[in-house]
Amino acid sequence: MAKKWLLFKQLAIKSWIMFRRYFFNSLGGIITLYVIFLVIFLGYKGIAGLGPTDQYLSIEGILVGYILWYLALAAYQDVAYTIQNEAKQGTLEQLYMSVHGFGWVIGFQQIINAFYSLLIAGILAFFLMLTTGKWLNIDLLSLLPLLTLELICFAGVGFALGGLMLIFKRIDSYMQIVQFVLIFFVAAPPSNWLLRLMPGTLGASLIQKVMNGGEALWQLAWQDLLLTVGVALAYLLLGVAIYRICERKAMKSGTLGHY
């Protein structure tokens, strides 16, 4: 247990060093996200007068959707790109030789990454709200569990893609497509069963209800909450299972550290 804590601490220190050392990089990322939103926002204002808007098409809805999209993106890219970058840097095999087992290493790394993603999402949300003048309901007690479930769900997607990267190596262009598919997942209303089972879709709608509709966690339908938990865990387990299969294959074909 002490050893696991040591691992967590070392990973956290490494992440913090990298974050600090490459702060302007991170800042650039946040500014880009901010600018993209501005473009969407101004475009939206241009067409807003055209007809009635429902919850998803209101500016608040788009704001929440945008932040969720960022989080989804961050969650799956953190996993997949961590694995890819480590392979590129020639450190993946070193991580595999850790005494803690690679599962712990990548698991802890994800928790740490999630922390940074939430932090950045928070900062981004603040500036977006400031710009649009629409103040959302930031009820952390209700939001954090739901956001965590979203992160878990997309981390699952990330593990699956990270595993495929171990085998197929050059799948960056497909990763780009996934970015856009994610918009669909977090923006689609969970109007039927299929959509409710898509990664993050139901969770996103619940977050909309909290941030945009002002509801609290306990006011949400328990069936929806339960399903969101189930879906998140299912995608995580599925993703990890796919990763493990790919990992075993890469170890057989001797391509674990190749890139």
Ligand X SMILES: Nc1ncnc2c1ncn2[C@@H]1O[C@H](COP(=O)(O)OP(=O)(O)OP(=O)(O)O)[C@@H](O)[C@H]1O
| Cα distances (angstroms) measured from residue 241 to each of 43, 88, 120, 201 | 42, 23, 29, 22
Nearer Cβ to another protein, position 9 or 45?
Answer: 9
Q: How far is the CB of 239 from another protein (least distance, A)?
A: 22
For position 252 contacting ligand X by CB under 6 A, the verdict is: no
What is the Cα gyration radius of the chain?
A: 19
Q: What φ, ψ does residue 63 adopt, rounded to 5°?
A: -60, -50
- In angstroms, rounded to a whole number, what is the distance separating the alpha carbons of residues 5 and 210? 34
For position 255 contacting ligand X by CB under 6 A, the verdict is: yes
Neighbours of 236 (CB within 10 A): 21
Burial label for 156, CB within 10 Å (0-12, 13-18, 19+), is buried
Residues 6+ apart with CB under 8 A from 7: 98, 100, 104, 105, 108
The closest alpha carbon to 71, from 247, 202, 200, belongs to: 200
For position 254 contacting ligand X by CB under 6 A, the verdict is: yes
Task: Among 3, 32, 115, 177, indicate the residue that binds another protein (CB under 8 A).
Answer: 3
Q: Which partner in another protein, ligand X, none is near 95 (CB below 5 to 8 A by kind)?
A: another protein
Task: Among 98, 131, 191, 219, indicate the residue that binds another protein (CB under 8 A).
Answer: 98
Q: How far is the CB of 10 from another protein (least distance, A)?
A: 3
What residues between 235 and 254 interact with another protein by CB under 8 A? 248, 251-254
- Indicate the residue whose CB is closest to ligand X: 254
For position 168 contacting ligand X by CB under 6 A, the verdict is: no
> Candidates 30-38, 115-123, 199-207, 249-257 — which segment interacts with ligand X by CB under 6 A?
249-257
Q: Which residues bind ligand X (CB under 6 A)?
A: 253-255
